[in-house]
């Protein structure tokens, strides 16, 4: 009973999560069930501790081929949505989930539009047959709450210059500056999937946290989900590094108003309050172009697209030439207006 599936009580088809309505829905008969009210099979079942070697589809009996991180997938034989229960319980149980609000079709459209708008992407880049696959993926994240107690000492100067007679005076006032600051960061997301590119995932932010729901396996029906590869302890250094940039910029603004500032002592005491394990929705698109594969990701709630598209040298040259040419002609016109000749 490690494999959970969602059979329609009316017609027996496999039900999936519908991003439009936020309900568990049946494509065959149109039945829709409210997930909030739906009894979660995870809570009713106790899984054996045994290492599971094979998962079998409840619908057709075929072996479900998965990677070791996968916690939800689709049966490759009959297409039924299946959730691997033992990979979502115990320490692997997500606290919350943000469900998809952008459907596969909308995601495809948005991707194509984004590529067409790419001013430097080659013209032939965006054709449908290049899409190798689009996957709705619930990516495991840890949301960190970090409290920071900060004490900073610095030497600041305020510089004033004025003229008296034939002399230019520079008056420098020196200050000893001290600040005690509390900076508490909540829900700082760090992606916990080994295979996802950290830089790409960082650019997907922000996720709308008001859409966070208590985790129910039914949200995963019809999508791919992964379990975390790194736990919160392992990712704590990354979280700390991420907020340290925010901290430094906050310190700077807290000590503003001076012409120069040199820090003599900076103490930052960071405490980890807690970290929540959540699943966040990401559309992943694989593209074939010029024999190399490009990966793009889209925030499954906001629709923000990230990823490095190929760059067309012809378009780069054209833009460069036209911007340079336009600047040059503008400069010439400015020179002409100022009284200069064309050459």
Partner 1 sequence: MKKRNILAILFFIAVYLAVPMEMSLASAELKTLIYDEAGLLNKEEYNELNVMANEYSAKRETDIIILTSTNDDNIDVMKMTEDFYDEKAPGYDKPNGNTVILTMDMRNRDFYLAGFYKGKEYLDEGRLNKINDKITPDLANGDYRLAFQKYIQTAYKYMGFRPGVNPDNILFNGWFQLAVSLGIGGIIVGTMAYRSGGRVTVNRQTYEDASTSGILERQDTYMRTTTTKRKIEKNNSGGSGGGGGGTTGGGHSHSGSRGSF
- Interaction with partner 1 in 111-150: which residues (CB under 8 A)? 118-121, 123
- Which residue, 28 or 317, is less far from partner 1 as judged by CB? 317
Tokens of residue 5, six digits: 């599936």
Tokens of residue 312, six digits: 């067309």
- Binding segment for partner 1 (CB under 8 A), chosen from 27-35, 51-59, 241-249, 263-271, is 241-249
3-class DSSP assignment, residue 239: helix
- Which residue, 174 or 291, is less far from partner 1 as judged by CB? 174
Residue 105's φ and ψ, nearest 5 degrees, are -65, -45
Binders in 12-31 for Zn ion, by CB under 5 A: 13, 26, 28-29, 31
Q: In angstroms, what is the minimal distance from the CB of 253 to partner 1?
A: 8
- Look at residues 111, 106, 99 and name the one whose alpha carbon lies nearest to residue 137: 99
The contacts of residue 290 (CB under 8 Å, 6+ apart) are: 310
Per partner kind, with CB cut-offs from 5 to 8 A, the member of Zn ion, partner 1, none near residue 37 is none
- Look at residues 143, 121, 152 and name the one whose alpha carbon lies nearest to residue 228: 143
Binding mask 97-136 for Zn ion (x = CB under 5 A): ----------------------------------------
Binders in 192-211 for partner 1, by CB under 8 A: 202-203, 205-206
Cα separation of 287 and 285, whole Å? 6
Binders in 153-182 for partner 1, by CB under 8 A: 156, 163, 166-182
Q: In angstroms, what is the minimal distance from the CB of 111 to Zn ion?
A: 29
Kindly tell me which residue out of 245, 265, 269, 292 binds partner 1, with binding defined by CB under 8 A: 245
Please answer whether residues 126 and 273 qualify as being in contact, where contact means their C-beta atoms are separated by less than 8 angstroms: no
Q: In angstroms, what is the minimal distance from the CB of 313 to partner 1?
A: 11
- Which residue, 74 or 107, is less far from Zn ion as judged by CB? 74
- Binding segment for Zn ion (CB under 5 A), chosen from 75-83, 227-235, 283-291, 334-342, is 75-83
59: cis peptide before it, omega within 30°? no
Per partner kind, with CB cut-offs from 5 to 8 A, the member of Zn ion, partner 1, none near residue 314 is partner 1
Q: In angstroms, what is the minimal distance from the CB of 105 to Zn ion?
A: 21
Site for partner 1 contains 325 (CB under 8 A)? yes
Cα separation of 166 and 30, whole Å? 89
Q: In angstroms, what is the minimal distance from the CB of 230 to partner 1?
A: 20
Kindly tell me which residue out of 184, 260, 262, 290 binds partner 1, with binding defined by CB under 8 A: 184
3-class DSSP assignment, residue 202: helix
Site for partner 1 contains 339 (CB under 8 A)? yes
Per partner kind, with CB cut-offs from 5 to 8 A, the member of partner 1, Zn ion, none near residue 8 is Zn ion
Kindly tell me which residue out of 29, 60, 65, 335 binds partner 1, with binding defined by CB under 8 A: 335
Query: Applying CB under 5 A, which residues contact Zn ion?
Result: 8, 10-11, 13, 26, 28-29, 31, 57, 59-60, 62, 75, 77-78, 80
């Amino acid at each position: 009973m490690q494999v959970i599936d969602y059979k329609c009580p009316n017609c027996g088809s496999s039900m999936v999560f519908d991003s439009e309505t936020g309900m568990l829905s049946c494509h065959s008969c149109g039945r829709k069930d409210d997930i909030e009210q739906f009894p979660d099979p995870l809570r009713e079942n106790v899984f054996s501790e045994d290492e599971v070697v094979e998962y079998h589809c409840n619908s057709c009996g075929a072996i479900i081929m998965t990677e070791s991180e996968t916690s939800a997938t689709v049966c490759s034989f009959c297409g039924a949505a299946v959730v691997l229960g033992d990979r979502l319980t115990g320490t692997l149980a997500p606290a919350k989930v943000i469900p998809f609000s952008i459907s596969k079709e909308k995601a495809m459209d948005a991707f194509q539009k984004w590529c067409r708008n790419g001013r430097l992407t080659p013209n032939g880049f965006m054709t449908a047959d290049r899409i190798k696959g689009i996957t709705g993926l619930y990516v495991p994240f840890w949301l960190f709450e970090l409290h920071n107690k900060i004490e900073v000492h610095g030497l600041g100067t305020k510089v004033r210059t004025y003229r008296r007679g034939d002399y230019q005076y520079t008056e420098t006032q020196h200050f000893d500056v001290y600040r005690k600051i509390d900076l508490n960061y909540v829900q700082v997301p760090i992606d916990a999937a080994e295979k996802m590119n950290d830089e790409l995932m960082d650019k997907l932010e922000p996720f709308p946290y008001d859409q966070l729901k208590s985790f129910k396996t039914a949200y995963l029906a019809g999508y791919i989900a992964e379990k975390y590869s790194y736990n919160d302890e392992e990712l704590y250094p990354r979280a700390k590094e991420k907020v340290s940039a925010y901290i430094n910029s906050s310190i700077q603004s807290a000590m503003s108003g001076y012409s120069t500032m040199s820090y003599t002592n900076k103490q930052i005491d960071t405490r980890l309050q807690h970290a929540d394990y959540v699943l966040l929705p990401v559309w992943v698109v694989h593209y074939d172009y010029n024999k190399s594969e490009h990966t793009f990701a889209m925030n499954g709630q906001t629709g923000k697209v990230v990823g490095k598209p190929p760059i067309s040298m012809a378009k780069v040259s054209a833009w460069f030439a036209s911007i340079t040419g336009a600047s040059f002609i503008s400069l010439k016109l400015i020179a002409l207006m100022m009284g200069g000749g064309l050459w």
